[in-house]
Structure 1
Amino acid sequence: MFVGRTGELDILNDALARAATGEPQALLLGGEAGVGKTRLVEEFGAAVCRRAATVAVGGCVEIGADGLPFAPFSTALRVLRDALPEEFAAAVAGQEEELARLLPELGETGPGRPDERGTARLFELTARLLERIAARHTVVLVLEDLHWADASTRHLLAYLFRTLRTGRLLVLATYRADDVHRRHPLRPLLAELDRLRTVRRLELARFTRAEVARQIAGILAAEPDPAQVDEIFERSDGNAFFVEELAVAAGEGCCTGLTDSLRDLLLVRVEALPERSQRVARIAAEGGSTVEYGLIAAVAGLSEDDLIEALRAAVGANILTATPDGDGYRFRHALVREAVADDLLPGERSRLNRRYAEALEADPTLVPAAERVVRLAGYWYHAHDPARALPAVLDASVVARRRHAYTEQLRFLERAMELWDTAPAEVRDALRPVDYTDVYPPPLPERRGGTPSGCDPATTPLRYLDLMAEAAAAGRFAGERERALKIIKRALRLLEEEPDPLRAAWFWVQRSRVVQALARGDGWPELSTAQDLVRGLPPSEVHAEVLAEAAGWSMLHRPGPEAFAAAERAVEYARMVGAREIELNARLTLGGLMVDAGDTEAGLAEMARVKEDALREGVRSVAGRAFVNLPSALQAVGRSREAVPLLREGTAFAREFGLLDTEAWVWGNLSDSLYTLGRWTEAADAAEHALRVGHSAKPQGAGALRLAQLALARGDLAEAARHLATAGARYGCHDPVPQQSLRVVRVAIGVAAAQGRVLDARAELRAALEAGFPPGTQRYAWLLLLAAAVAEADARALPAAADGRAEILDRLRETARGLTTGAPVWLAHQQWVQAELHRAEGRDTAEVWSPVVAAFECLDRPYDLARVRYRLAQTLLAEGGEDGRERAVELLRLAGAVAGHLGARPLGDAVARLAQRARLTLAGTPRRAPDPADPAEALGLTGRERDVLRLVSAGRTNRQIAEELFISPKTASVHVSNILGKLGVSGRGEAAALAHRLGLFPDGTLAAPAAG
């Protein structure tokens, strides 16, 4: 009898209905062990099947049993293949080799060089596979027992929950809440998923007394005695499994003999079995979550009749249950299996594992082929036999690596390192690096660059350092960076005792990467050490890799001649040793440095060639980087329109191969280009994508910074400040990359200036000027200087900003003289900065602004053009003259149209105020309807008097008001007198105080706000 859970069933049915409309659903079902999660899922699954939907269930294997990585997904996909063979075949067509890592029945997996991108590609293919299958059929994917999930399964589940967007799919995952302690590996995943609005989380509560009574009645097929219900409810505390065990025990008349010990409660029914059945239960408990019949028979050593009789008794007592495919047995409840396994004696446990291992070696067909190696490794390891366990766990590490299950590979390699010293020397000497390692080059530096020193790869024994190198790489690929760093440090200590420059340099490169990923530094000291180690050595793959890494680091941190030279040497060395991927990577860096150095066309051409070469040769890591760097270089020199189609292609490429961070960087760069082109709605959408899909902090920071820039331009200062804080947190302060830090400072200056915090804006500027602008950072430097110059010019009339202004303007001029203007866009920004500096000193004229407008009219930057047109109109009106006034009208009309189209409220407001002050009528400018709730209108203030009062409140004199409003000082004096009379105050100070109390200027800006 199914008891209760009506609310939870309603939620599940609602999710199913939503999924059936093509909106993927994700649910997490938690609860303590025995509370009824599986029973609820079974009831829901039966209802789903009645609706002609497909249910695919996969269970996680207990971690201690060394289950196959991705086990629940493999099982569920197998169910889908059997249930929907035609749809499944169509969905996997062309991707069988890679998806075979999840479902080995699809064929042989390709070798593939190990890296984190292989995992991402596998995850992306899995997501697309599920979406394709669920395009026409409603599919419910159930993953049980997440508390036992391997790391690869957890990562894949998180990826699906974040990226599934289409398909009639419902993903339901269950876990034991009471097992998820503070350090449990599932806990961070649950916290991450809780932040996703697309994931719903359910917690199953224990049964009430009324529900316990109904459950007991169903078990006993009779109405229970109320006293018995009270006792069972009290002792079970409403846990459905305990209720069942106690009810059955009571029905068999043995309830009184039970203790309060949970272990005794779980074992009481096992101990009631015949001795032979108890023995079979103990054997099954140590064999894993599910054990095949043939394997049990081989280990038990019983006659077939005796074994069947023992199993029948265990199944009849509801201790064991047959697996759905009828090929094996599992415990009906995992809690019982745990209790039986824990009850084994230490010697008994190792003996059973040895017998399992020996039986499996004698007959490998006893278990599925895909599980054989991993199961054997677990059995030998728990049998405490180092001689047999060491090669077995190494074989399992290779299987895990081929499936891109790097966390599991790391676990097996750590076991191998643990067993290394205890394994016999002859066993270690028989191991070969070519069989168990696949990272370059510490495991075998000779295999790609020849065989120096007469070393034969086929006869060279595997070394402990080889295992450490493989484990370090696996840890880095899996995101287990702390474990990787610990291994790397140990390896470097060993290399101090036995110097080996090439291996040491390789480990220092890995340490640099891990240190940067862990935000423990910028990674340069480690790279510098690696360079010292390879200096003077013959060309090698390690040498090329060190130079390429150093060049890439320098391009981001200290671009200049040294970075250029390192990139050239990296290309040369990579070609000499035939390291094609390193060569392409270094050439891409070299092309970017050529653009930064002013050799624009040649640099862009080289970057484009690298992209095409990488795509043609299938070097996805370099191709992904090219889709980031080439459009960025185009954007840098003002060719945003050329960058957009490349970036669109890049998002598709990154998504196809599951390169999440690459995709985030591409989306961020796309947001930049679209912003420049005046396509702000699309730019905001692209920035949101970058923030959402980024797996690492920095690409997420790029998305947040783009959103801050958009919010600032639109006048939403609170939103701009919020996104700016997010960007700063994501970028961190451990690794100040100029292309990131300069952009952050630029937006920070803009936000501070817009909020009237001029001194804060200057503090940001001073810090940036002290750090300096390395060669190649002019694209960011010009925009930062422009933001600072605009801030100073807008604050010219504020008395608080007078002190220190001259020094700031001098430093801005001096810095600008040192920046290159090799591209038209940089030259245009140089002219704009100079014009703003003139405005900050009150010396700007139409003659100053006209060439700035002309420069931007040749560029594809509508917002920037609108801003400088506004400034030119301002100076034309100040200089007077009918011709200037007519031109100003046209300039303001154009600037206002752009501001309205983009939603650039500060610029639009500035245009409207300037037109109002100058008594200009702009074609198409809507007139504002009177607002009866406006206190200024209630006091009878005209629009001109409101303008004057704003300036009076800002502390301006009559002469300054006249200059600002293009009127004479006498007219300004008349307006001030009228204002004082209407407000009923005696002086300018009282008028300012009353304006503040009435909130006449709610935007907080008493002077005219900046247009930028």
Structure 2
Amino acid sequence: MRGTLTPGEERNGIMAIARRLHGEVWVAGSGSLVDEVVAALSPHGVVVVTGEPGTGKTWLVGRVLAAVDRKRVVIGCRGLPDGPYVLVRELVSGLAGGDLRSVLAAVEADELHQVCRALRGLLGARLVVVEDLECTDHRSRQVLRYLVTRPPENAALLLTWTPGAEPPLGTRLSSAASAGLHHVEVGPWTAAEMAAFVGRSCADELHELTGGVPVLVHALVNHLSSEEDQPREALRRKGVPRSISELVEQRLASLPEQARRVVAAAALSRGPVSISLLGEVCGLGAPEVEAALAAAVDTGVMASTDGRAFTFHPPVSGIVVERGLHPIERRRGHAAYVAAMHRDQDALADLVFHSRSAGDLVTAARYAERAVQHMTTADAIELLQELLAEPDLPRAQRGALAVRLGRLGLNSLAYDDTVALLRGILADGRLPAGMRGELRLDLALLLANQAGDGDSGRAQLRVAIAELGRRPALAARAMSALAIPYWGNCHVAEHVRWLTEVERTVPDRGDPVLLLAIAVNRASTLAQIGDPRAWDAIAELPADGATIGERRELLRGCANFSDTAIALGHHLAAADFLTRAEDLASRSGPSYPWQMATSNQLRLDHVTGRWDGLAERARAYLEIATHTTFVAVDASLVLAQLALARGEWDEAEEYLGAHGLRSMNGWYGPVVICAAATRVRLALVRGRIAEAVDELAETVEILRSKGIWAWATELVDAGVEALLLAGDAARAERLLDEFAADVAERDCPFAHSMVPFGRAAIAAARERFDDAATLYDEATTLLAALPRPYEQARALEAAARCLPPSSGLLAEATRLFTTLGATWNLARCDHLVREHGGTTGARPGRRGYGTELSPRERQVARLLALGRTNRQIAEVLFLSPRTVERHAASVLRKLGATGRDELRPEDHG
């Protein structure tokens, strides 16, 4: 790929090959750039290759030489002795076979012009390669400039140099005679090129360490195992490759003693370091530090962007310097940093690092207590985890920091390391009971929330309550968590018992954040069991929090309330809760509850019919929720439900396989039950009725042991359909009666809407069509009020099957399914219209689609892109295979595609 020519370059006839060496240079068989250089040199021409050390100049020369079959002279200038015409003499010695006397005589007489002309005449048809031209003498450079600006007729020149203050051949090399001059610029890889080459999660850190210099990247990739995904720590532990360390040590050796001291001190810093700070650490004045840093910059060890802060160039050099220090020197250096920075309140995290590195863990813990108050949750957790990993940290400091870690962990997106640390600390039986109970409470909440392990969380909560006998507020917090119905396989009566115990024991005064957490849990429990008192409990919560801690508890409450409101059918309230959650999150930072609220928004969009772009939003959420796969199950469920409504059954099955969408480890939230309902429906559309009934029976047993059906509406709806298709109307009626009896006194409008839907389906199965139509009409009205447009459209379609074709209900169902994009349901309605003698094809006055795809063709195109056969598409869209074949041919023709493999699902809805 050629670089863009500037007007001046075009005017002067220079062809610029402004080219980076991409990751391909390290892959066998890559030859596009090599081919370009070979072509530029054949049969004669001049190519100048420039780039920083390690960017691939020598590699490129080697590949070119391997690809060219002609006489050549190859000279490397690095290491040549001083003196005029040294390079010229080297060239002459490589030109055996010609009359060299005229050149040598001109060299001895220092007749520059005669040297140039004589050497030009001797080159013949050779390829002349000169590497590291900046290292040669001035006279030889003048000769080469002459050859570049007046290239020999049959010879070719390939020159390399490292950019510096002045180009070794000067400027304005172009002339009328130099039309064959080409310039190749090689440089470091970009972060994207690095990622493509490395193919590992640590690509960004490798890019930072190496500055993208290919030779350094190659050395580190070969040095580090594929399991070492934290390169900086791995290099500090096992050392830097010898090729890199020798390069750095060679540069250091040329520095004066005082400059080496300053560079050594800089290597102990965590980032760019200022002249003033280095002066305090080293006990030197500013002029001395400036001189030392200037020398380090000149040798290529360090660099500065603004002349005030300095860093290593590339950063891996700093690791070499740091590892080269004696351990005692390192500890003294870190202690000097602490002494120099102890008044800087903006450097608390650095003070933790230097105190810890100096071996003063008590001081490090003291600074850590202050530092975490000013850090993001993720950074604070990382700092505490690193400090708590120190085996020599005293018990008192370990316990205090662990308590902070536990509290922070409750808002964290990543939890594995925190859980492991808390388990390890709790194994120390010498911790005071109260502290152990507090740590165990945090561990329990992490297990039940982020890890989705309700059984383990509840077991830890029961132990924590016993340990917190002298800390009643924390004990009440643990009890309020045991009251949450979603956690554990116990009956709802036990959750209510714990709720009663909380109301009896919670103190009137105490930590506002702790008391607010208890109040949020009480309201959450009442809401989850459909108790109407939940609304009063929610209303009693403060509208806002005075501190970040209070705002995060309110945010957690809004996430909980929106989750339950969606399941129970309070959709307007759910939207209000999510609006409040967004405001609270904007003033309290990223957190686990905000992730919950974000995933709840996806579910709310689905149930209320905002399907446009929903699949893209859900997939995007899955990509960013890598630390909390359990929370991400909402997105997987939404994608499964959307796929089912589109007739994409294989995709629906794949999404339903997400971790957390089956009841496991005592987690029984609405998403789990809804996923079971979706599996029942998927089995039914595939004609696997027995499989659907088995799935239903398994989940119903869970609900019966739990004793609450408020969030099981979708399961009962799917279950009634499955049992009716199995020919067991009596069992379907018993299931519906059991459900209706439980939800009758609960505040769950979605359940109340679907009870007449189920009774209508049973009536239709018994051929009581007038009763069924009346019940479907009742369900339609209730569902429209929520709103639940997908279920509303299903009720309209079902009612239409019970009434004469002229009822108009099917047209309304078709309109809703079309608006939603539920193509499978829409196709089923179209099929029913055709059965009644109607048509969904073009009618007089209806627009034609010309070269655009019609709605039906878009449906076919998407299924084709997903790899479906004509027969499978016919089954999904209720068409004949011959009709699908005709649509498929039209799709390919209109899109200009030669085969199905050229289609992409995302291009067709």
Matched, 1:608 2:539: yes
Q: Which residue of structure 2 lines up, in the alignment, with residue 398 of structure 1?
A: 370
Aligned to 2:251, the other structure's residue is in SS state helix
Distance 1:480 1:390, change over 3 A: farther
Matched, 1:515 2:439: no
Distance 1:806 1:647, change over 3 A: same
Report if aligned partners of 2:447, 2:453 keep a CA contact under 8 Å in 1. Answer: yes
Distance 1:595 1:402, change over 3 A: closer
d(CA) in 1 for partners of 2:738, 2:838: 39
Q: Which residue of structure 1 lines up, in the alignment, with residue 162 of structure 2?
A: none
Matched, 1:857 2:781: yes
Q: Which residue of structure 2 lines up, in the alignment, with residue 577 of structure 1?
A: 509
Report if aligned partners of 2:268, 2:333 keep a CA contact under 8 Å in 1. Answer: yes
Amino acid at match of 1:395: Y
1:527 aligned to which of 461, 466, 478: 461
Offset, 1:748: 0.8
Q: Which residue of structure 2 lines up, in the alignment, with residue 760 of structure 1?
A: 691
Q: How does 1:968-983 map to 2 (within 5 A)?
A: none
Matched, 1:867 2:794: yes
Report if aligned partners of 2:641, 2:652 keep a CA contact under 8 Å in 1. Answer: yes
Report if aligned partners of 1:684, 1:707 keep a CA contact under 8 Å in 2. Answer: yes
d(CA) in 2 for partners of 1:920, 1:338: 78
Q: How does 1:43-192 map to 2 (within 5 A)?
A: 187=202
Aligned to 2:667, the other structure's residue is in SS state coil
- Equivalent pairs counted in the alignment come to 658
Aligned to 1:769, the other structure's residue is in SS state helix
1:343 aligned to which of 316, 321, 324: 324
Distance 1:655 1:558, change over 3 A: farther
1:420 aligned to which of 394, 398, 416: 394
Matched, 1:268 2:199: no
Offset, 1:753: 0.8
Q: How does 1:772-787 map to 2 (within 5 A)?
A: 772-773=703-704, 777-787=708-718
Matched, 1:552 2:477: no
Q: Which residue of structure 2 lines up, in the alignment, with residue 820 of structure 1?
A: 743
* Unmatched 5+ stretches in structure 1: 11-31, 38-171, 194-200, 209-233, 238-258, 422-461, 796-800, 877-884, 932-952, 954-991, 1004-1012
d(CA) in 2 for partners of 1:785, 1:274: 82
* Unmatched 5+ stretches in structure 2: 4-15, 24-50, 57-189, 222-240, 850-870, 887-909
Offset, 1:645: 4.5
Amino acid at match of 1:269: R
Report if aligned partners of 2:437, 2:464 keep a CA contact under 8 Å in 1. Answer: yes
d(CA) in 2 for partners of 1:304, 1:870: 83
Offset, 1:320: 4.9
Q: Which residue of structure 1 lines up, in the alignment, with residue 498 of structure 2?
A: 566
Distance 1:825 1:615, change over 3 A: farther
Offset, 1:787: 0.8
Report if aligned partners of 1:292, 1:329 keep a CA contact under 8 Å in 2. Answer: yes
Offset, 1:337: 3.8
Distance 1:675 1:350, change over 3 A: closer
d(CA) in 2 for partners of 1:587, 1:301: 57
Offset, 1:701: 1.3
Aligned to 2:439, the other structure's residue is in SS state helix
Distance 1:731 1:579, change over 3 A: farther
Aligned to 2:483, the other structure's residue is in SS state helix
Distance 1:417 1:203, change over 3 A: closer
TM-score by length of 2: 0.60
Report if aligned partners of 2:568, 2:750 keep a CA contact under 8 Å in 1. Answer: yes
1:917 aligned to which of 818, 830, 835: 835
d(CA) in 2 for partners of 1:688, 1:588: 31
Q: Which residue of structure 2 lines up, in the alignment, with residue 489 of structure 1?
A: 423
Amino acid at match of 1:338: I
Offset, 1:750: 0.9
Offset, 1:854: 2.5
Matched, 1:837 2:852: no
TM-score by length of 1: 0.55
Q: What whole-Å deviation, never above 9, does each CA across 1:960-982 have from its counterpart, x for those lacking one? A: xxxxxxxxxxxxxxxxxxxxxxx
Distance 1:738 1:399, change over 3 A: closer
1:699 aligned to which of 622, 631, 653: 631
Max Rg structure? 2
d(CA) in 1 for partners of 2:828, 2:219: 75
Offset, 1:561: 3.5
Q: Which residue of structure 2 lines up, in the alignment, with residue 893 of structure 1?
A: 811
Offset, 1:410: 1.1
Offset, 1:403: 1.9
Q: Which residue of structure 2 lines up, in the alignment, with residue 20 of structure 1?
A: none
d(CA) in 2 for partners of 1:905, 1:318: 64
Percent of paired sites with the same residue: 19
Q: Which residue of structure 2 lines up, in the alignment, with residue 968 of structure 1?
A: none
Report if aligned partners of 2:683, 2:689 keep a CA contact under 8 Å in 1. Answer: yes
Amino acid at match of 2:535: L
Q: Which residue of structure 2 lines up, in the alignment, with residue 985 of structure 1?
A: none
Distance 1:923 1:633, change over 3 A: farther
* Range that drifts further, 846-855 or 680-689: 680-689
Q: Which residue of structure 2 lines up, in the alignment, with residue 708 of structure 1?
A: 640
d(CA) in 1 for partners of 2:317, 2:563: 59
Q: What whole-Å deviation, never above 9, does each CA across 1:451-494 have from its counterpart, x for those lacking one? A: xxxxxxxxxxx565334433444566666644433432333333
Q: Which residue of structure 1 lines up, in the alignment, with residue 234 of structure 2?
A: none
Report if aligned partners of 2:719, 2:732 keep a CA contact under 8 Å in 1. Answer: no
State the superposition RMSD in angstroms.
Answer: 5.2
Report if aligned partners of 2:552, 2:585 keep a CA contact under 8 Å in 1. Answer: no
Matched, 1:590 2:522: yes
Matched, 1:742 2:757: no
Q: Which residue of structure 2 lines up, in the alignment, with residue 721 of structure 1?
A: 653
Offset, 1:825: 4.1
Q: How does 1:229-248 map to 2 (within 5 A)?
A: none
Distance 1:383 1:548, change over 3 A: same
Offset, 1:692: 5.7
d(CA) in 2 for partners of 1:835, 1:693: 43
Q: What whole-Å deviation, never above 9, does each CA across 1:291-339 have from its counterpart, x for those lacking one? A: 5445545555678887776666555544455x44544655444444433
Offset, 1:829: 1.9
Q: What whole-Å deviation, never above 9, does each CA across 1:687-720 have from its counterpart, x for those lacking one? A: 5675466462233211221232233234333443
Matched, 1:770 2:711: no
Q: Which residue of structure 2 lines up, in the alignment, with residue 231 of structure 1?
A: none
Amino acid at match of 2:775: P
Aligned to 1:746, the other structure's residue is in SS state helix
Report if aligned partners of 2:548, 2:587 keep a CA contact under 8 Å in 1. Answer: no
Q: Which residue of structure 1 lines up, in the alignment, with residue 19 of structure 2?
A: 6
d(CA) in 1 for partners of 2:310, 2:590: 40
Offset, 1:277: 4.4
Distance 1:556 1:676, change over 3 A: farther
Matched, 1:410 2:334: no
Report if aligned partners of 1:596, 1:777 keep a CA contact under 8 Å in 2. Answer: no
Aligned to 2:744, the other structure's residue is in SS state coil
Amino acid at match of 1:513: L
d(CA) in 1 for partners of 2:427, 2:836: 76
Distance 1:274 1:544, change over 3 A: same
d(CA) in 1 for partners of 2:439, 2:280: 46
Amino acid at match of 1:790: E
The structure whose residues are more often helix, as a share, is: 1
Amino acid at match of 1:370: D
Aligned to 2:742, the other structure's residue is in SS state coil
Distance 1:305 1:637, change over 3 A: closer
